Amino acid sequence: MGKKIGNAINRIGIPTFAVGALLLVLLIAAGALGQSIPTLISDILKRIGMNGVLVLAMLPAIKSGVGPNFALPIGIEGGLMAMIICMQFDFEGWGLIGAATLLCILFCSILGFLYGKLMNAVKGAEMTIATYSGFSMCAFFNILWLAIPFSNRKMGWMLGNGLRETIDMKKFGAKNIISDFLAFKIGKVTIPVGMILTLALLCFITWLFFQTKTGMAIYAGGQNPRFAEASGLNINRNRIIANVFSTILAGLGIILYSQGYGYTQLYNGPMNMAFPAVAAVLVGGATASKASIPNVLIGVCLFQGLMTTGMPVMNQIFTGTDLSDIMRIIIQNGVILYALTKVKSGGDR
Amino acid sequence: MNDGILEFINVGKEYSGHAVLKGINMDVRPGEIHALIGENGAGKSTLMNILFGMPVIHETGGFTGEVRVGGQNAKIMNPHDAMEQGIGMVHQEFMLIPGFSITENIKINREITRETLMSKFFGQRMELLDHKKMAGDARKALDIMGMDIEEYTKVEGLPVGHMQFVEIAREIDKTGIRFLVFDEPTAVLTESETEHLLDAIRKLAAQGIGIIFISHRLDEIIRVSDRVTILRDGEWVATEETKNITAAEIARLMVGRALTLDRTEGSRQISGEEILRVENLRVNMPGEEVKGVDLSVRKGEILGIGGLAGQGKLGIANGLMGMYPVKGKVTFKGEPLDVANNSETLKKGIAFLSEDRKGVGLLLSSPIDLNIAFSAMEVHGKFIKKVGPLSLTDRKEIRENAEKMAKELDIRCTSVAQNAGALSGGNQQKVCVGRALCLDPDLLLVSEPTRGIDIGAKKLILDLLKSLAEERGMTIVMTSSELAELRSICDRVLIICEGKVAGELSPTDSDEVYGLMMSGVSKEEAMKASGAVQGDSLQKGGAVNG
């Protein structure tokens, strides 16, 4: 019996199981403490919608053998730049979202291509170098936010030049524009249909991509580069394609995130956004070399569920402390650490 | 009588139920040069690992039998015990520190020190190195080998041959060294260095050190050794006084097999047409370097490529598939072929079964059907359906194709959706064959097709290859370390030695000729020597009769 349970846990994966169990405990505790469960579930759904695409961005990178995309900030900065430029020209509402999406795909393709080149040059040490290239890219964009003469007063400081740290999406009529699209309520629970549809659509596109000849080649190159090479594939090119894809998803992800959050966060905002996304996909049962759409979806539900539920529950139990954030950091980094110990050998050869 | 003698008594070793050594008896007397010879996998390394108490032996359940030194069970459980017993080894890879002088390398961790004022108070760690004495010892060791190089020269930049001597000097400088093992010491040396080394070995023996000399170069063995022991497939075959045996006889004993694969003449259609021509092929494959190979393959034949490990036979097929940096002129079906671009090679109809089945041949954690379809899908665009602008994989077709292949090739699996990693070696190889067949090649390069496959399945794989040639008219180039295998299905066999083609043999040539050619003897000499064996035995027969 004990053995059976052990096997079951192993099949689900220890992080998935542990986080799942913790989430369950917290939800029960929340109910017992008299928290409003419908509000909590509405929050969880919203955060799943906001973060889902950022987690999905891990998939192409992992499948191609590069490993989790720790350089998520690169794509995020591309997405932010697209939004800021569209805001500069006073696009509003759906126009802003649409224009930013197109521009984001352009920017992120270029950034992803360059990043892919870098990843091919550092095979075997992708994860570390990706982390730091993400950080460096943030610093570089910090300069751009200050140096490029954006002139739209809605984005500037009260005094002086440069962009503000957070820009209110409400001023551009884009706050919650996707979240509220077709949204409806079941009892007190709000279902953010627009965001869930967007996430579903992007998941479908990703899935479809990996059914194509190119997608299959990328997958094989990630699984066994020597095998792919023997089949006459250009692995480096495929890795670049995967990184471009991942970077574009990151850019689209931040657009979706920002409208849900109501603000675009510039400067060091994107710096640490890779870690929750990496942790989420790993919690979902992915490894540094294998991932699937279900891993992404399960992961984002569990991880964001935990984050959302943890905060009010912890704050109520331990009043006046910041325990929920400490817990977030422990779980997030703990899961990443656990997953990294499972990496057999980085890259190929 | 057995004072100071080293004996292996009935030594055996199993790795997870698979016997690699069976009942080996061998002894080495002081002052004797005892050669140990056998093909790859004959058990030489395992025997030496046992002698040195290497962890790989004791972690896998130890060995049976006894190793005795001077008539007593030596109980060697780790390399340190072996050193205590006075057994040393000259390694193939040099274990020297480049930035140190020769003396320092020889004396490392056995430095001679002298007392100083400081050491009187702070103990031995504060003693100074006695460079003079150390240099004297080093000089002595170098002199034994007749090496006139200065002992304070840095090892860095020494020629390979000299490094080998420093390594030997370190061993003989150890006090109480009684037995010394040389593992392929001449593999990396030039001819004159080899000469020098053999002299040194003789000198060491003359000082009463027992020497085990492992080499695959028969001429060296004949020249230097007193006795020779031949192993084959983990079994003891013979121990002979070297003066009573010829190189040809050693070769025959080394190669000859009790268990042979029967050769059946096939009904192949070999046309005179040349399908592949390779000129001056150079492949930089680590450990299997090819240094200028010319060969020609006729349409419809099965060409065998044989030779000892490390001589470059595996490099040929890998080079043709662009798996390693490659140079040379290759003509396929009358057109020049750019072998560095392997997607073109595959498109033009050459397929490859790698010797590294798990590393290169398969996607272990993907289903069988995908493994079979993959190459054809990527190379020829098979199993693809167009949906609008997208070219999607056709799962249904992939599945059906795999089921057809599984039936045709008799792949034993519960379903083609099973992961390839779950299959046995033989079945994995069949999956690889299936993948190659989907490419519909005209020329199939096969490397070590039966490596890691049990004996029953071996025959199946070989029969399969033969039927491909006979029924589909496929041309096959098969590379293998197992001569019996090559000789059972090939039409011609090329022997590769030191990165070049040593010569071409017919599958029906004798064991002696094969053995001699693999150890670098030219074909004419090999033929002559093997002829001499027959002559010898006739003479002996005559003498007995007389």
Ramachandran angles phi, psi of B286, nearest 5°: -55, 130
What's the whole-number average pLDDT of chain A? 87
Calpha distance B353→B479 (Å, rounded): 10
Please tell me which of the candidates B347, B354, B390 has its beta carbon nearest to residue A230.
Answer: B354
Whether B428 maps to a domain, the answer reads: yes
How many H-runs (helices) and E-runs (strands) does chain A carry? 14, 4
Contacting residues of A for B361, CB less than 8 Å apart: 227, 230
Q: How many Å separate Cα B487 from the centre of its chain?
A: 19
Chain A positions in Cβ-Cβ contact with residue B375 (cut-off 8 Å): 230-232
Please give the ipTM for the structure prediction.
0.78
Domain shared by B280 and B327, yes or no? yes
Token pair, residue A269, equals 């905002």
B188 lies in the same domain as B323 = no
The two most distant CA atoms of chain A are separated, in Å, by: 69
Band of residue A329 on the pLDDT scale cut at 50, 70, 90: confident
Mean pLDDT of B398-413: 88
Instruction: Report yes or no: B361 and B430 within 8 Å, Cβ to Cβ.
Output: no
Residues B237 and B298 in one domain: no
Q: Judge if B19 and B74 occupy the same domain.
A: yes
d(CA B477, CA A178): 62
Q: How far is the alpha carbon of A214 from chain B, nearest alpha carbon, in Å?
A: 8
Report the candidate in B209, B185, B180 with the shortest Cα–Cα distance to residue B197: B185
Strands (E), B289-407: 290-298, 302-306, 326-332, 335-337, 350-353, 384-387, 390-393
CB contacts of A230 in chain B (<8 Å) are: 321, 323, 342, 352, 354, 360-361, 375
- Predicted confidence (pLDDT) per residue in B293-312, tens digit: 999 999 889 999 988 877 88
pLDDT for A52-79, tens place per residue? 999 999 999 999 999 899 999 999 999 9
Q: Are residues A223 and B365, on separate chains, in Cβ contact within 8 Å?
A: yes
A230 and B361 in contact by Cβ < 8 A? yes
> Same domain, yes or no, for B306 and B200?
no
Q: Using CA atoms, how far apart are residues B76 and B69, in angstroms rounded to an integer?
A: 10
Distance from C-alpha of A227 to C-alpha of B460, rounded to nearest angstrom: 24
Which residue's entry shows tokens 């080649």?
A217
Does B268 fall in a domain?
no
pLDDT tens track for B471-522: 888 999 999 888 888 888 899 999 998 888 988 988 888 878 888 888 877 8
pLDDT higher than 80, residue B205: yes
Q: In whole angstroms, what is the distance from residue A74 CA to residue A274 CA?
A: 10
- How many alpha carbons lie under 13 Å from residue B523 in its C-beta half-sphere? 11
Residue A145, SS3 per DSSP: helix
Taking the alpha carbons at both ends of chain B, their separation in whole angstroms is 37
CB distance B303 to B477 below 8 Å: yes
Rounded Cα distance between B37 and B32, Å, is 16
The residue in chain A having the minimum alpha-carbon distance to the alpha carbon of residue B352 is A230
Residue B194, min C-alpha distance to chain A (Å): 35
**Are residue B433 and residue B355 in the same domain, yes or no?**
yes
Output the CA torsion sign for B197, B200, B206, B208. Answer: negative
Instruction: For residue A16, give how far its alpha carbon lies from the nearest alpha carbon of chain B (Å).
Output: 21
| Facing residue for B363 by CB, picked from A213, A227, A233 | A227
Say whether B361 and A227 touch across the interface (CB within 8 A): yes
Interface touch A230/B393, C-beta < 8 Å:
no
Q: How far is B374 from chain A (nearest CA, A)?
A: 8
Number of separate domains in chain B:
2
Task: Tell whether the model's pLDDT for residue B262 goes beyond 70.
Answer: no
d(CA B455, CA B460): 9
Q: Do A212 and B361 touch (CB under 8 A)?
A: no
In a domain, B64, yes or no: yes
Using the beta-carbon criterion (under 8 Å), do A220 and B374 form an inter-chain contact? yes
- Indicate the pLDDT class of residue A342, thresholds 50, 70 and 90: low
Phi, psi of B69 (to 5 degrees): -120, 125
- Asked if the Cβ–Cβ distance from B375 to A232 is below 8 Å, we say yes
Nearest to B305 by CA among B91, B470, B190, B449: B449
As a whole number of angstroms, the distance between CA B50 and CA B473 comes to 49
Cβ atoms of residues B391 and B385 within 8 Å: yes
| Facing residue for B342 by CB, picked from A216, A223, A232 | A232
- The pLDDT tens digits for B14-57 are 877 777 888 899 999 998 999 998 876 678 888 888 998 888 88
Task: Let me know if residue B194 belongs to a domain.
Answer: yes
- Which of A224, A232, A234 has its CB closest to that of B363? A224
CA separation for the pair A78, B396 (Å, rounded): 40
Pair (B217, B365) in one structural domain: no
With beta carbons under 8 A apart, name residues in chain A contacting B323: 226, 229-230
Q: What is the DSSP string of A28-68?
A: HHHHHTT--HHHHHHHHHHHHHHHHHHHHTHHHHHHTTS-S
Does a structural domain hold residue B367?
Answer: yes
Inter-residue contact B381 to A248 (CB < 8 Å): no
Q: Do A212 and B321 touch (CB under 8 A)?
A: no
CATH code, domain carrying B487: 3.40.50.300
Interval A129-154 mean pLDDT: 90
Residues 6+ away with beta carbon under 8 Å from B415: none
> Is B110 domain-assigned?
no
Helices (H) and strands (E) in chain B, counts: 19, 24
**Which residues in chain A are closer than 8 Å to B392, comparing Cβ atoms?**
208, 211-213
Look at residues B181, B190, B161, B171 and name the one whose alpha carbon lies nearest to residue B33: B181
Closest-approach residue (CA) in chain B for A210: B392
Strands B492-497 and B87-90: unpaired
Question: Is A211 in contact with B347 (Cβ distance < 8 A)?
Answer: no
What CA–CA distances, in Å, run from B535 to B18, B243, B542? 40, 17, 10
What local confidence, expressed as pLDDT, does residue B140 receive? Answer: 86
Q: Tell me, yes or no, whether B295 and B233 share the same domain.
A: no
Q: Cα(B487)–Cα(B56) distance, rounded to whole angstroms?
A: 34
Same-domain check for residues B372 and B455: yes
**Nearest residue in chain A measured CA to CA from B348:** A232
Mean pLDDT of the A216-225 span: 91
Cβ contacts from A onto B, under 8 A: 70
In a domain, B236, yes or no: yes
Question: Is pLDDT at A258 greater than 60 in this prediction?
Answer: yes
Bridge partners of residue B276, in order along the sequence: B297, B332
Percent of chain B's residues with pLDDT above 70:
92
If we measure between CA atoms, which residue out of A332, A329, A313 comes closest to residue A34?
Answer: A313
Contacts of A226 in chain B (CB under 8 A): 323, 356, 359-360
Nearest to A208 among B344, B362, B390 (CB): B390
Interface probe for B, chosen from A213, A219, A223, A348 (most Cβ of B below 10 Å), is A213
Range of the structural domain that residue B506 is part of: 274-510
Distance, CA of B4 to chain centre: 33
Beta-bridge partner residues of B154: B101
Domain membership of residue B534 (yes or no) is no
Higher pLDDT, B153 or A63: A63
Report the b/e string of A150-173 with b at 16+ CB within 10 A.
beeeebeeeeeebbbeebebeebe
Structure confidence at residue A254 as a pLDDT band (50, 70, 90): very high
Contact criterion met (CB < 8 Å) for A232 and B363: no
Residues of B in contact with A213 (CB under 8 A): 377-378, 381, 384, 391-393
Contacts of A233 in chain B (CB under 8 A): 343, 378
Q: Which of B518, B374, B497, B524 is nearest to B434 (CA)?
A: B374
Domains of chain A, each with CATH number or no CATH: 18-25+33-340 (1.10.3470)
Looking at residues A205-215, what average pLDDT do you find? 92
Instruction: Give the Cα separation of B133 and B113 in Å (integer).
Output: 9
Shared domain for B401 and B503, answered yes or no, is: yes
The answer on B430 and B307 residing in a single domain is yes
Partner-chain contact B392 A233, CB within 8 Å = no
Which of A212, A216, A230 lies at the smallest CB-CB distance from B352? A230
Residues B438 and B365 in one domain: yes
B321/A227 touch (CB, cutoff 8 Å), yes or no:
no
